[in-house]
Structure 1
Amino acid sequence: MTQDPRLLRTANGTAPPTSATALRRANLSSVLRQLRDHVSRSRADIADATGLHRATVSNLVAELLERRLVREVGIEHVGAVGRPRRAVALHGAHVGALGLEINVDYISVHGRDLRGHVLVERRVSFDAVGGGPDRSLRRLGLVAQEAIEAMERAGAVPAGVAVAIPALVDVACGVVKFAPNLDWHDLPLADRLSAALGPLSVPVMVDNDANLAALAEYTSGVAAGTPHLVYLTGEVGVGGGIIVDGRLLRGADGFSGEVGHLPVDPAGARCGCGRHGCWETKVGLAALVRTAMPEQAYALPGLPVSDPEERAAEIARRLVEGDRGMLDAVAQVGRWLGLGGSIVANLFNPRVIVVGGYFATLAEWLLPHAQAELERLVVASPASQCRFAASDLGFGAASRGAASMVVNHLIDDPTTIMSSLPRPTLP
């Protein structure tokens, strides 16, 4: 393949790759990225957008067509005269991406193909705290195997698995450093899950649940494309994913976004992290249940595992019925949500704070209180124009983001799957 001297510099200003292998990888990635971000594009459009020679783009597209990663989708006519352009679109119906989330009380699954077509999606109630890391990973492995089999029946072979978890994660090594609400420490989750999957030999990645949910929101949520946004999980605990200039903010060690552990009340309740008065002790689902439904509080012995969506639906039912105690408890959570949101807004100046999980389910009762407190406490108000918005991705945002992580990895380096993809059999 001819090297293209006009290959643009990368986004961070570094020089283009010099070896033939690295150049091929970068060029294939550039083409696929264009097709990921647009419904379809002609070869000429791709060449114009990437700075690659049209002949180079034609060669790359031909290779991707042969591997069924892209497909022809029709003719585009540009202007009144000139040659028609044949458009191509992302395909890869035979390439799968599996996203998983393991949280305090459930395991969530989202499997899709490279085009974005959903192949499997489910959530399983599971007590990950009571099960401990060993039993939890065995169950996670079984759920993953079932999902992979479902994807294969749909005609897609998973090319990667990503796991979302409410924890500090060493992403490069796939190690859970500390999961406060699970009480897991230094767990090599990627290696353990890879071993559980055995001969399937599927690459496994691990990341923080809020980071992956933020990516899902930025890609396809209510504030999709907003370059400055913060996502807040609404689970037993609270985590945050921060998008700045369209990129996930990770921090020096990859541990940014632990907003649930902002100290907001030094005299408050003890948190799973061992400290007192963390924000999640005021606004997490466990805190609301403990205040308004003490008979169903988390960690009470003998209670069955309850899906968080079911708990949120029960709270919503009581709110609709006008339960005064529940209305007061939710209003209090809303005010604490706005207080913590103002800290986040003062630090990162986002345009929108997207709330997920149970926050989204109870948005009509929570967010008016939260927005009022946010506007009262944000220093730059009203110029900051920051607002709360309820996610429409439900409790599956993190597993959806995990699947997107796999897809993005494949698009960043298509050569990881190119050699393993079969060439189509001629009739």
Structure 2
Amino acid sequence: MLQQRLPADQASVRRSNLSLVLRHLSENGARSRAVVAVETGLSKTTVTSLVGELQARGLVREIGPQHAGAVGRPGLALALDGSRVGALGLEVNVDYIAAFATDLAGRVLIDRRVTFDAMGSGVERSLGELAAVTRRAVTELGATGVTVAGITVAVPGLIDAHSGVVDVAPNLGWHRTPVAVRLTDAAPGVPIAVGNDANLAALAEYTSGVAAGTADLVYLTGEVGVGGGVISGGRLLEGADGFAGEMGHVMVDPSGERCGCGRIGCWETKVGLAALVRTVTPEHPYGLRDGVLRDPEERLAQIEQAIGDPLVDQAIATVGRWLGRGAATLVNLFNPRVIVFGGYFARLAGRLIPLAQAELERLAMAGSARRCTIVASGLGFGAASRGGAGTVVERILSDPTLIQIR
């Protein structure tokens, strides 16, 4: 069968081959030029030329002779470098802003979360704080000789990824908010993308989480709101407009509570952190302006200290059962092998997962239910910002020419 010939200029072929070599080193570790040539199918001359350019861009380095047991002079091993190339992921959520940065090889450079009342601060103040966090991170990385190659911002809402505009983020009160444009002054010349928090967290789980490499998985955020990211066949399921995964806004109780989106009985009104907090610490619910700003970890600590109180135990059990009911729908829709509980769901996994798994097996199609397991994420509340940094790394691996020759 003849392969279809596609038009391609030399520059695009060069970019493709640069990506092939860089990704090969990223996924397989140190290799000599000769081994890279054999494993990629490129000629030795081509690999030598490509490696020279990758070195000039600061993406590859030589680490010494590679002894493979063969007779003759050992070749110099090449390894992924990028120690001066930074990838920055940010997340703005109801009560915090997170920053996570790595270099190209995945070494963590920044990992922090700043408590901030984005729900009650309004768009302008929230964007100002997000810009300040961005500016500090870029400056901090620059002081160590790291240049930020890209930024991805995670937001809990519907995102127009092409323009970097948040169409709507119900729990933040944002509508048609041009996040990417508003951050340009904080990071001049740096490409800025915006993505849904659950989608980015799902990518982080797929690449480096507890279910890494699972081709079919669903990730559920456990925040004030509840979102989901779906990996199907090893690819993120985004939908026609990039809005797939808004699982928290599936109506499950037509006579239930009003959701932040304006509708009645959404799933997140049953299982979101705000719902649990409202039940077990009614004196400090989300939206109460008492002058005390609480990080989600602090709110969880309050809940954990109260475990044993019948009211608290019953509230957690109710969340667990509602999680299982929703999970059964997800299994019937997407047939995943794993459902990953993130955020506060992971923190309370010991109490939530047994109940959720039982409901899942009771309500989902029998065959799919038996082959799907619920597990707790190990990435905590930083999953989305970690996923944001990961998308920047992926863009560089796909097109190394994004990094300037030095």
TM bin, normalised by shorter chain, reads over 0.9
CA distance in 2, matches of 1:383, 1:119: 40
2:244 paired residue number: 256
Q: 1:361 to 1:133 in 2, by over 3 A?
A: same
2:253 to 248, 265, 277: 265
SS at match of 2:306: helix
| 2:360–2:369 contact (8 Å) kept in structure 1 | no
The amino acid that maps onto 1:179 is: A
CA distance in 2, matches of 1:123, 1:301: 21
SS at match of 1:388: strand
Report how many aligned residue pairs link the two structures: 405
1:326 paired with 2:312, answer yes
1:403 paired residue number: 389
| 2:361–2:369 contact (8 Å) kept in structure 1 | no
The amino acid that maps onto 2:253 is: D
| 1:119–1:154 contact (8 Å) kept in structure 2 | no
CA distance in 1, matches of 2:280, 2:101: 36
The amino acid that maps onto 2:162 is: A
Query: Any unmatched runs of 5+ in structure 1?
Result: 1-12, 423-427
2:360 paired residue number: 374
Query: Any unmatched runs of 5+ in structure 2?
Result: none
2:333 paired residue number: 347
Task: Please list the CA deviations of residues 307-347 of structure 1 after superposition, one character each: whole Å capped at 9, or x if unmatched.
Answer: 0111112212222xx22211111011000001101111111
CA distance in 1, matches of 2:128, 2:28: 39
1:66 to 50, 56, 63: 56
1:149 paired with 2:135, answer no
Q: 1:130 to 1:382 in 2, by over 3 A?
A: closer
SS at match of 2:171: coil
CA distance in 1, matches of 2:17, 2:348: 46
| 1:17–1:26 contact (8 Å) kept in structure 2 | no
1:38 paired with 2:25, answer no
The amino acid that maps onto 1:409 is: R
The amino acid that maps onto 2:351 is: W
SS at match of 2:198: helix
Q: 1:307 to 1:324 in 2, by over 3 A?
A: same
Q: 1:252 to 1:234 in 2, by over 3 A?
A: same
| 1:73–1:89 contact (8 Å) kept in structure 2 | yes
SS at match of 2:172: coil
Alpha-carbon distance, 1:149 to partner: 1.2
CA distance in 2, matches of 1:16, 1:303: 62
Alpha-carbon distance, 1:19 to partner: 0.7
> Which region of structure 1 is more displaced relative to structure 2, 70-79 or 177-186?
70-79
1:9 paired residue number: none
Alpha-carbon distance, 1:41 to partner: 3.0
| 1:166–1:179 contact (8 Å) kept in structure 2 | yes
2:121 to 117, 128, 131: 131
1:166 paired with 2:152, answer no
Alpha-carbon distance, 1:265 to partner: 0.8
2:167 paired residue number: 177
* Identity within the alignment, %: 59
Alpha-carbon distance, 1:85 to partner: 4.2
Using the size of structure 1 for normalisation, the TM-score is 0.91
The amino acid that maps onto 1:243 is: I
CA distance in 1, matches of 2:282, 2:367: 37
SS at match of 1:366: helix
The amino acid that maps onto 1:394 is: G
CA distance in 1, matches of 2:45, 2:299: 58
Task: Please list the CA deviations of residues 23-65 of structure 1 after superposition, one character each: whole Å capped at 9, or x if unmatched.
Answer: 1111111111112222323334433443322321121112212
The amino acid that maps onto 1:302 is: D
1:218 paired with 2:206, answer yes
Q: Describe how 1:2-401 pairs up with structure 2 within 5 A.
A: 18-78=8-68, 81=71, 84-197=74-187, 200-319=188-307, 322-381=308-367, 384-401=370-387
The amino acid that maps onto 2:212 is: A
SS at match of 2:367: coil
Q: 1:263 to 1:42 in 2, by over 3 A?
A: farther
CA distance in 1, matches of 2:238, 2:34: 36
SS at match of 2:142: helix
Q: 1:45 to 1:283 in 2, by over 3 A?
A: farther
SS at match of 1:61: helix
| 1:119–1:150 contact (8 Å) kept in structure 2 | no
Task: Please list the CA deviations of residues 191-245 of structure 1 after superposition, one character each: whole Å capped at 9, or x if unmatched.
Answer: 1111344xx3211110000111111111111111111111111000001111111
The amino acid that maps onto 2:395 is: H
The amino acid that maps onto 1:365 is: R
CA distance in 2, matches of 1:407, 1:88: 19
CA distance in 1, matches of 2:399, 2:13: 11
The amino acid that maps onto 1:266 is: P
| 1:349–1:384 contact (8 Å) kept in structure 2 | no
Alpha-carbon distance, 1:15 to partner: 5.8
| 1:296–1:303 contact (8 Å) kept in structure 2 | no
1:425 paired residue number: none
Task: Please list the CA deviations of residues 229-285 of structure 1 after superposition, one character each: whole Å capped at 9, or x if unmatched.
Answer: 111110000011111111111111111111111111111111111111111110000
> Which region of structure 1 is more displaced relative to structure 2, 80-89 or 352-361?
80-89
CA distance in 2, matches of 1:275, 1:258: 13
Cα-Cα RMSD: 1.9
| 1:175–1:190 contact (8 Å) kept in structure 2 | yes
| 2:331–2:368 contact (8 Å) kept in structure 1 | no
